[in-house]
Amino acid sequence: MPWLSMTQEGREDHAHFPESGFCKEKNRLLKVLLTAIHELTELQNQQTQAVIAGDPDFARFDVLLHMAHERKEEAKYAWIVHVESHHCEEA
């Protein structure tokens, strides 16, 4: 099998990969991203319900939505940067 004959240089090139394919930091960052997405979605749902209920002050969610969207974007890019720089598997 060709992969069994990998040179020492090839093994050194992959030394930064986690042995098990499991990266705790990647998973932690993914949880942060999922939490941020959940919070953003909850605010969107609350604003939608306010509109449905005829609440004239439904725009009060705009600043909160903007802040939640920023947190989601920060979490997303932190996860992407980690995966790309650490070369951990995305699956």
- Structure confidence by residue, pLDDT tens digits, 10-46: 433 333 444 446 899 999 999 999 999 999 999 999 9
User: How many domains are there within the chain?
Assistant: 1
Answer whether residue 8 is part of any domain: no
CB atoms near residue 2 (< 10 Å): 5
- Nearest CA to 78 out of 36, 33, 12 is that of 33
pLDDT value at position 22?
A: 82
N-term to C-term CA, the chain: 25
pLDDT band at 88 (very low <50, low <70, confident <90, very high): confident
Longest Cα–Cα distance in the chain: 70
Answer whether residue 47 is part of any domain: yes
- Distance of alpha carbon 77 from alpha carbon 85, whole angstroms: 12
Answer whether residue 63 is part of any domain: yes
Domain boundaries, position 55: 23-86
Q: Does residue 71 or residue 5 have the better pLDDT?
A: 71
Interval 42-51 mean pLDDT:
98
